[in-house]
Amino acid sequence: MGLFQSGYEKFEKRLPNDAGKVFVITGTTSGIGFIAAETVLNKSLSESVESFEKLKGLNVTYKILHLSAIKVTLGCKAIYCLSNNAEILAADVTITEDENEIQMQTNHLSHFLLTNELFPLIFAGSKEHGDARIVQHSSAARHMTPKNGSEETYFLKKERDGLLGGNDGDTGLMKGGRWYRYFQTKLAASVSMRCLHDKLVAASERNEACKNVTSLRAHPGVARTSIWDDLHEGGFIVHKIIPLFIRMMDSKENVKCGTLYGPRRGLMGKTANPNRPTAYEISPEAKVMLWRTS
């Protein structure tokens, strides 16, 4: 563990044995996604899993899913949990083959499509296990959008690279087009979670089983994962201060920093604390726009 005690081990011990359940987690090569997969497996196995190589010998199915080129294929009959974890951070502005900005497509649009495509299996999982859940990976960065809200232009198709603020950095911390595009994707994850919750509540009036599907959002906080490796802009704070700070938390192999577990009292807290939504996260206009453009 790092300098700050996270309470992760106590949290892990309380987790149930999920043998026989299907977890779909995007972004499991390393970092938080890998730890999520490892934790689920360790609760279901007699021998601890400690490396990516060891996972290959277990009942684990790997699908190469390039979120910048949307295609969905998966072979199973029911899903207990879909964790939309994969993301890229502050990337150069690039338009994908689907004509979307690459951060919005990777972090939000592909997960929106994945959720839609897999929902019948998630619904089947809720009937088989009594419940199922869809988890969006958001961030406190959702509160850093320049205009305090979702902007439709980030969701729309584009014809060429270089739009939406381009690649020019700004003089401030986490400023400029790269970061503003990232902030929009993290806000999209939060709004999407609430949209899906509303849809499930409405559907439960016609189908009781929809009450057993839960829409959730997680904010893991700052962790030292490979997501930081490709940052070229950001100045002294991003490249020197933040790496020093997260180095005290934990290694990228463990990713068990305090904010992963949702502290109540800053980094030293050991009790999960729900985040109250802001007006722009629950705005009816934002929900309608996101659902229409996604």
Per-residue confidence band for 254, with pLDDT thresholds at 50, 70 and 90: very low
Instruction: Give the model confidence (pLDDT) of 201-248 as tens digits.
Output: 999 988 888 899 999 988 766 666 666 666 655 555 566 666 666 555
Q: How high does pLDDT run on average in the chain?
A: 77
CB distance 199 to 211 below 8 Å: no
Q: Is the domain defined by 8-293 classed in CATH 3.40.50.20?
A: no
Helices (H), ranges, the chain: 8-14, 31-44, 52-55, 102-104, 110-129, 177-204, 235-236, 242-247, 284-293
Provide the pLDDT for residue 169. Answer: 59
